[in-house]
Amino acid sequence: MMNANPNIPDEVRAVAADGTQLRYALMEMAREMDDVIALGRGDPDLDTPPHIVEAAKAAIRDGRANPTPVKGMAALREAIADHMRAVNGLPVGADNVMTTTGGQEGLFLAIQALIDPGDEILVPDPRYSSYDDAIRRAGGCMVSVPTNRVEAFNLEADAVEAAITPASKALLIVTPSNPTAGIVTEDRLRAIADVAIRHNLIVIVDEIYGKIVYEPWRHFSIGSLPGMAERTITLDAFSKTYAMTGWRCGYVAAPADVIEAMARIKQVTTGPVATVSQWAGLAAISGPQDCVSAYLKIYTERRGVLLDGLDRMGFAYGEPRGGLFVWADCSSTGIHATELSYLLLKEARVLIFPGTAFGDAWREYVRITMLEPIDTLREAVERMLPVLDRYRL
């Protein structure tokens, strides 16, 4: 733990004392300020590809917007199952698939279906803390599994096994990870699958960034391994891959009885996905995929600019192998991440999130997104450097 930096004014230290509150405060502040470069939230700045928008518009014009069954349109579920068989290697049919109102709802439904009060869920640390509410509401207990920068936040089977107790029910994996941008590699997933089978764990795997993986790394689906399909809930969505966050359309692959349970829960909690969004999703998953590789190329270039900038700032980071973030250690500056986030917004007009938003121990990390055009990212770096120089120890 760093000592207090005498360059940081007391009022900054006071505002930054509570990481979660600070995250909301930063977003409120940013809303009130002009000319802020927002590198906080995970909303792709790129637009939904035109052929997907056109498919939705055709559905609206043709009056194809009536409610669907709660699991989703049959044609979309078939297309998702085909895709997950071909691309992810999952042994699934349409009975193993349902649509959800975005990826986050998939996690909510899985937790509601599978977790009883007192059940422990193993969660890699740092974590996507927006999932906390769903786990808490089901009475589940989160048990942290450590990951580290040296390993690029790649999850280790030994660390998973060490965290298992008689109350352990499930393991939650997010790969590529939000916030770390690490991936869980195939060799590690094979070892983790052995642990899951040996200890009868359910694996809930969030693969929403699975199509945004940087060379030479490859995404791998744990549900494709022998003996895993019957205990794996795979979450995915159109939101990040196709820049479709506002459509709120995701999907889940799971054993048929889990899908049936999740559908019954969805019926009384949110109802079916908006029909127009399902038509957009169908166009996305069954249409041309050039947009996916084109977007990946854009993100790859942005990632290079951001990493160059972080090198100039003296930040350390695990190699970001996938996703839309960089998870960087700012301890070399002598400024806590909470204070740094506040200072960068106030004085550089750049919004980033402190690591404490993703786990209490991450006071020396920040999450920075690459969801602005490349020139804007360059400008963000140039704005941040003098602020760092002013306050760094």
Partner 1 sequence: MHTPKQLARPLAQRVAGLNRPPPPSAEPQPIPTNVIDAALAALDRGETHYTDRPGIPEFRAWVADHLRERYNVSVDPAEVTITCGSTEARYVCLTHLVPPGRAVLCPGDESRIRGALHLVGARIVDSIRDDVSLLYITPDIYRETSMELLQRAEDEDWWIVYDLSFAKATAPFHPAQNPKLASRVVTIDTLSERMAGWRLGWMAGSEMALRLRAGKQAMTICTTAVSQWAGLAWARTTTQ
Binding site for partner 1 (CB under 8 A): 41, 43-44, 47-48, 53, 56-57, 60-61, 63, 65-71, 91-92, 96, 101-102, 104-105, 108, 112-114, 116, 130, 133-134, 137, 200, 202, 229-231, 243-248, 255-258, 260-261, 263-265, 267-277
Closest approach of partner 1 to the CB of residue 35, in Å: 20
Task: Report yes or no: 200 and 169 within 8 Å, Cβ to Cβ.
Answer: no
**Rounded CA gap, 161 and 171, in Å?**
10
Three-state secondary structure along 134-167?
Answer: HHHHCCCEEEEEECCCCCCCCCCHHHHHHHCCCC
Paired with 225 in beta bridges are none
Closest approach of partner 1 to the CB of residue 347, in Å: 26
Question: Which C-beta is closer to partner 1: that of 111 or that of 335?
Answer: 111
Question: Which C-beta is closer to partner 1: that of 271 or that of 288?
Answer: 271
Phi and psi for 236 in degrees, rounded to 5?
-155, 170
Question: Which C-beta is closer to partner 1: that of 371 or that of 384?
Answer: 371
Task: Report yes or no: 210 and 236 within 8 Å, Cβ to Cβ.
Answer: yes
Closest approach of partner 1 to the CB of residue 150, in Å: 33
Question: Which C-beta is closer to partner 1: that of 264 or that of 392?
Answer: 264
Percent helix, percent strand, percent coil in the chain, to nearest 5: 45, 15, 40
Residues in contact with 43: Cβ distance below 8 Å, sequence separation at least 6, in sequence order: 245, 371
Closest approach of partner 1 to the CB of residue 251, in Å: 14
Closest approach of partner 1 to the CB of residue 155, in Å: 22
Question: Which C-beta is closer to partner 1: that of 95 or that of 379?
Answer: 95
Question: Which C-beta is closer to partner 1: that of 6 or that of 226?
Answer: 226
Written as one letter, the residue type at 287 is: G
Task: Report yes or no: 287 and 52 within 8 Å, Cβ to Cβ.
Answer: yes
Closest approach of partner 1 to the CB of residue 230, in Å: 6
Q: Give strand ranges (E) for 45-118.
A: 97-100
Closest approach of partner 1 to the CB of residue 262, in Å: 9
Residues in contact with 30: Cβ distance below 8 Å, sequence separation at least 6, in sequence order: 36, 38, 40, 345, 351
Closest approach of partner 1 to the CB of residue 354, in Å: 19
Question: Which C-beta is closer to partner 1: that of 81 or that of 388?
Answer: 81
Question: Which C-beta is closer to partner 1: that of 277 or that of 341?
Answer: 277
Paired with 213 in beta bridges are 322
Question: Which C-beta is closer to partner 1: that of 59 or that of 184?
Answer: 59
Closest approach of partner 1 to the CB of residue 301, in Å: 21
The number of C-alpha atoms within 13 Å of 196 and in the hemisphere containing its C-beta is 29
**Rounded CA gap, 19 and 226, in Å?**
42
**Rounded CA gap, 150 and 128, in Å?**
20
Residues in the chain: 393
**Rounded CA gap, 196 and 218, in Å?**
22
Task: Report yes or no: 181 and 42 within 8 Å, Cβ to Cβ.
Answer: no
